[in-house]
Amino acid sequence: MDDQYISGTRDNGDQLSSLYGMTPKVEAAVIVALADGHTRRVRALVSPLHPADQADLIGRLNTPQRSRLMKMLGPVLDPDTLTYLEEDLLEETLAAIGAETAARAIVEMDSDDAIDIIEELDDEERDSILASMPAAERLIVEEGLSYPEDSAGRMMQREVVVAPAHWTVGQTIDFMRGQDDLPEEYYSIMIIDPARRVLGQVRLSRLLGKQRPVRLSEIMETVAQQIPATMDQEEVAILFRRYALVSAAVIDDQGRLVGMITVDDVVDVIDEEAEEDLMALAGVSDVSIRSTLMETLQARLSWLMVNLLTAVAASIVIGLFEDTIQRIVALAVLMPIVASMGGNAGTQTVTVAVRALALRQLSRATIMGFVLRELSVGFINGLIFAITAGLVSYFWFGDMSLALVMAVAMLANLVIAGVSGTAIPLTLTRFGVDPAVASSVFITTVTDVVGFMTFLGLAAYFLL
């Protein structure tokens, strides 16, 4: 029975992996071909793969294997593969293929993808690749790099399909058919005036559904969401999410069309911002599974040091009640429960608050309701766990006074956790500090100190 189950599971896994180009069998075959030095076999295995699968393959190989793969692939490597590589693998891959090959690959990309790659490199590598690019393409990339980091100007593609309002559907279709350098992905045609100010847009689906004599001015939609080139990428992602956008025009300070942002770029931003917040909450930002030992140590050491200081603060509170703990040993057994429950409750509230702040869901009209809701949740949870913890304490130690102290301390700490879990992120945001980075440290300190202070203080007052 177990063997049949294991076999069935393995078969299902093979069926699922067969839906994608990058399978364990392909990976194993590539590794064997690399070891044997069969360039033709390597190219035959890798070239049919989707660029995302080629990037996945590169990430699975070790450094010597990646180096051999780059040498064997040469011109067969799909340029779009570079756009799917993580930063550390990108730098290694570009170094392996050389500046001239990298420049040829980048020239074939849309400008937004080219800028994404170039901006991740250090100055020396960037200058080397830019110097190898044709002047026209180099100018486009340099203009994109002139915008602030993490801005709409960095995200946008400069290739935009535009047309005047007086054109007909037939003229527009003929124009697009006659162009060889249209963007790889676009969903609408921007209607502009002679000064390149956006008048509206025509979705491709609507364009193709109209007769050739119909003018674009008759079927265009007003563009409500025009994104300034200097807007932060996180704000761009919020706009796309809120209005369910597929694409949006990017304008300069004079309101002129300079580019277009499509949803595929926004998905990357949403993923990047979510990863940054998640890693920041855990204090392990700016590291990956391929980070070196020293990089990992440096990234985590500072946060561990901060946590040590908060632990010392909690220990100082415990030290103030040393005599009380010595006289009532049961306190040493029970006090971690109070602090742990408060810390977990505070973390839950902080997580919700940080997410709401990141999505711009909190405003002056909603903040008070959110705070009151979390306070109510903290109070109700406090009552539930106060009763539970009190009963556990009573049946454990047989002391009603100790059980009451435990119950009151539990209620107080969960209420404080609810209040501080909302107040801390909001306060940090008001002072311009990223709440995802600093909230967890403060909430741990507050719940530990308040938990120990309340529990031990009540015990010292009522039990001695």
pLDDT tens, per residue, the chain with 464 residues: 434 333 333 344 344 344 456 788 888 888 999 998 888 898 888 888 888 888 888 888 888 898 899 888 877 788 888 888 887 788 888 888 877 888 888 888 888 888 888 887 878 888 888 888 888 888 888 888 889 888 999 989 888 999 999 999 999 999 999 888 888 888 899 999 999 999 999 999 999 999 999 999 999 998 767 899 999 988 898 888 888 888 899 999 998 999 999 888 888 888 777 766 666 666 555 555 556 667 666 666 766 777 778 778 888 888 888 888 887 888 888 888 888 898 888 888 888 888 788 777 777 778 888 888 988 999 999 999 999 999 999 999 899 999 999 999 999 999 999 989 898 888 888 887 777 767 777 888 888 888 888 889 988 888 87
Within 8 A by CB and 6+ apart from 443, the residues are 343, 346, 347, 350, 417, 420, 421, 424
Within 8 A by CB and 6+ apart from 399, the residues are 330, 393
| CATH number of the domain residue 426 falls in | 1.10.357.20
Tokens representing residue 304 in the block: 């561990």
- What is the C-alpha to C-alpha distance for residues 279 and 267, in angstroms, rounded to an integer? 18
Domain check: are 450 and 312 in the same one? yes
Domain check: are 360 and 218 in the same one? no
| Bridge partners (DSSP) listed for residue 192 | 164, 198
**Is 154 part of any domain?**
no
**Is 13 part of any domain?**
no
**Is 302 part of any domain?**
yes
- Check residue 244 and give left, alpha or beta (phi > 0: left; psi -120 to 50: alpha): left
**Is 104 part of any domain?**
yes
Domain check: are 257 and 136 in the same one? no
**Do residues 343 and 414 lie in contact, with contact meaning Cβ atoms separated by under 8 Å?**
no
Give DSSP secondary structure letters for 370-384: HHHHHHHHHHHHHHH
Tokens representing residue 283 in the block: 């204090």
Domain check: are 176 and 262 in the same one? yes
What angle, rounded to 10 degrees, do the helices at 87-97 and 63-73 form?
Answer: 50
**Is 406 part of any domain?**
yes
- Picking from 129, 134, 183, 133, the residue whose alpha carbon sits closest to that of residue 156 is 183
Domain check: are 212 and 117 in the same one? no
Domain check: are 172 and 261 in the same one? yes
Last residue of a domain, one of 230, 257, 279: 279
Range of the domain at 270: 162-279
Helix, strand and coil percent figures for the chain, each rounded to 5: 70, 10, 20
Q: How remote is the C-alpha of 392 from its chain's centroid?
A: 42
- What is the C-alpha to C-alpha distance for residues 241 and 224, in angstroms, rounded to an integer? 15
**Is 411 part of any domain?**
yes
Domain check: are 264 and 379 in the same one? no
| Bridge partners (DSSP) listed for residue 206 | none
Domain check: are 105 and 179 in the same one? no
Last residue of a domain, one of 85, 117, 149: 149
Give DSSP secondary structure letters for 60-122: HS-HHHHHHHHHHHGGGS-GGGGGGS-HHHHHHHHHHH-HHHHHHHHHTS-HHHHHHHHTTS-
**Is 213 part of any domain?**
yes
- Picking from 85, 71, 74, the residue whose alpha carbon sits closest to that of residue 34 is 71
Tokens representing residue 392 in the block: 């556990």
Beta strands, E only, 231-382: 247-251, 257-262
| Bridge partners (DSSP) listed for residue 163 | 191
| CATH number of the domain residue 219 falls in | 3.10.580.10
Last residue of a domain, one of 103, 118, 149: 149
Domain check: are 188 and 96 in the same one? no
**Do residues 265 and 166 lie in contact, with contact meaning Cβ atoms separated by under 8 Å?**
no
Tokens representing residue 340 in the block: 């742990």
Domain check: are 439 and 301 in the same one? yes
**Is 285 part of any domain?**
no
Provide the number of structural domains found in the chain: 3
Domain check: are 140 and 174 in the same one? no
* Predicted TM-score of the model (pTM): 0.65
| Bridge partners (DSSP) listed for residue 215 | 168
| CATH number of the domain residue 90 falls in | 1.25.60.10
- Picking from 464, 425, 462, 426, the residue whose alpha carbon sits closest to that of residue 443 is 425
Domain check: are 445 and 300 in the same one? yes
Tokens representing residue 367 in the block: 């903040």
